[in-house]
A and B are shown apart, each in its own frame.
Chain A
Amino acid sequence: MAQRDSQESHYLSTFAAFEQNGASASPDWLQALRKQAIANFERDGFPTARRGNELWKYTDVRSLASHAFTLSKGNGHEAIDFAPYDLPCPRVHQLVFVDGHYAADLSTEPPSQAEHQAETIGHRSEGLIVGRLSEAIQERLPLVEQYLSQQAGAGAFAALNTAFVEDGALVYIPDGVAVHEPIYLLFITTGHASVVTHPRVLIIAGADSKATVIQGYESLTADAEPYFTNAVTEIVTRPGAVLRHYKLQREARNAYHVAATHATVGRDSMFASVSLDLGGGLVRNDISTTLAEVGASVKLDGLYLGDGKRHIDNHTFVDHAVPGTSSDEVYKGILTDASHGVFVGRVLVRHDAQHTVAHQVNKNLVLSDEAEVDSQPMLEIFADDVQCTHGAAIGRLDPNAVFYLNSRGLDTREAQELLVHGFVSEILSAIVDDAVRQYTDDAVLTKLG
């Protein structure tokens, strides 16, 4: 117990200092939200227990919890060569944060109403917001108070993020607006010190709107000091909205990356998520979606590439809360060296949720003797008129396929490369925006070597 107390007390004293400095200027509701969150964190503590801890049974966070990460002061940042992170398209709504602090020099200001390319579908296009959460809070935007932390929910990591919520991104797409340029939210860690950042993103997709949001998590150096990214993203899609959400995680190999994404999907609305994990030391993603109204659908795709001693844990949850909703989920992993991949896919079909369609597939390629995978589908179906399928596979490259390619003149290395590219292409092709796709293809193919 003594050790556990000290793990949390580091963050409690950091919070006390945080409250004194600047955070006190926040509106009352936010101060109350933070206080409640730190109390929840203190009560729950890090999920380090190794027994009876179902949600964290495959992922041991004791080393994370015992590390005294500090908030970055954010006194400006070094010059950053941005070229590796540039999306290959001329117009991007881009917000960049370095060690948790907004980097104005790297961000492209949201275009003014006169220039921005948002197209109207029978509605006026004004009012698109791709901006800093801190500014929205300062300006007392009712949206923020209305939606912030409505979904982030329980758990020590989300509580910690909320307790320290200060800056991040707010994306608001007004009703009927189709945003053609990608909205790019990039969180860079310099890796010079053992910092903790709590990136917070709130996305509200208005009725019949359309947008693509890409969230990148990058490290300037592969051999960074251990650091901790504790991200929370909350998403609401209103009726008829189509929101494509891509996450590219390329943290340093010593980094801890814990990210929770929550989405509530409205009537006839579609939320499509592609999550790409190419980096990090210990990685945990939670994607939790609620199909809240008739006709809501989610498509969840994920790819995790483990090498070295990387540990990548993906937990997904789809809540079919009402009748007539659908979910389609494909997660794939490639694990080499002594890496460890985890996939736990929970699908809940509630009692009244008739005519639910839910498909889930998890496939893993294990390319070394020491690599490990845990794959666990969890289907909880309480309605009777449903179409639900799931499948899981863990295996090596099919020797017949390798021989087939050999027999056409390709050596075994070339054959494996083609087969691995074939394996990942299903996930990559889920990214429909050409510029983003080109960028993510490059990222994945570079990683695969």
Chain B
Amino acid sequence: MLEITDLHAEVAGVEILKGINLRVDAGEVHAIMGPNGSGKSTLANVIAGNPSYRVTAGTMEFEGEDLATMAPEERARRGVFLSFQHPVEIPGLRMDHFIRAGYNAVMKSRDEDQLDPLKFDRLIRAKAKVVEMDATLTKRAVNEGFSGGEKKRNEILQMAVLEPKLRILDEIDSGLDVDALRSVSASVNELMGPDKATLLVTHYERLLTYIVPNQIHILMDGRIVASGGKELAREIEAKGYDWLAEQQSA
């Protein structure tokens, strides 16, 4: 589904990604771990098309098509979804209006039926139930005054509505207590399917006990320095990242 080859990217002239290779197939869950500043969030944003980042070399293919030349909305319409680490607050724009506009833009691009406000209201209520979110939040301004947990759950609600193929979850676990983490993870798992793929970006091994990855990749200084199964996460939890850095430079 996603094939990244020797990807380099920079922000404000500073190179952050220094040659990423990553392949994610349908039905798989991959986790990207790494210390602060290693480039995890950059990778997530570059895949989703954040214009603050510039791809300087390498390729990104999504279902065989070049992602790097697509506008971010085009990627979204084809099924790429980024759950933001810091979801943006938009005063004055109602959550349900916003996500209906997004949903209809996606449907329109696929020549599928758009939903009027009434039908969409039914859809979003059903999805809110799936992600265990209070549906009245959808009548409020986008993320405005939401708690950290509500913001994250709101991202998952949007994912539930848009039903993307590639789900990039950037620090979905930050700001969540254990109960919220369990519930959000359950939603992510429930919304998964054989035609979908998940890319988890996280600091903590804790998340991976709830959303179990097929593969874990350790990102350090813009490169993937190790890939492996669950045991790799446990090793990181026990020993930190430094030993990998030493192994790298050795």
Contacts and interface: CB of A to CB of B under 8 A. Distances in A.
B103 interface: yes
B76 A418 contact: no
A247 B120 CA distance: 36
Contact of B51 (A399, A404, A419): A399
Interface in B37-81: 48-52, 71-73, 75-77, 81
A277 to B, nearest CB: 19
B102 interface: yes
A409 B87 contact: no
Interface of A: 398-401, 403-412, 414, 418-419, 421-426
A404 B88 contact: yes
Contacts of A414: 101, 105
A398 B88 contact: yes
Contact of B106 (A409, A418, A424, A426): A409
B102 A399 contact: no
A413 to B, nearest CB: 10
Contacts of A412: 71, 73
Interface string B70-108: 011101110001101001101111000111011101100
Given A401-B90, A421-B92, A422-B90, A407 B141 contact: no
Contact of A407 (B81, B91, B97, B101): B81
Interface residues of B, number: 33
Contacts of A409: 73, 76-77, 102-103, 105-106, 109, 162
Contact of A408 (B71, B76, B92): B76
B93 A419 contact: yes
A403 B72 contact: yes
Contact of B49 (A406, A418, A419, A422): A406
B52 A408 contact: no
B145 to A, nearest CB: 14
B185 interface: no
B18 to A, nearest CB: 23
- Most B CB atoms within 10 A — which of A411, A422, A423, A424? A422
A399 B11 CA distance: 14
Contacts of A424: 92
A401 B143 CA distance: 11
Contacts of B187: none
Nearest to B143: A404
Contacts of B51: 399, 403
B141 A422 contact: yes
A406 B90 contact: no
B131 to A, nearest CB: 16
Given A399-B51, A403-B52, A419-B93, A410 B88 contact: no
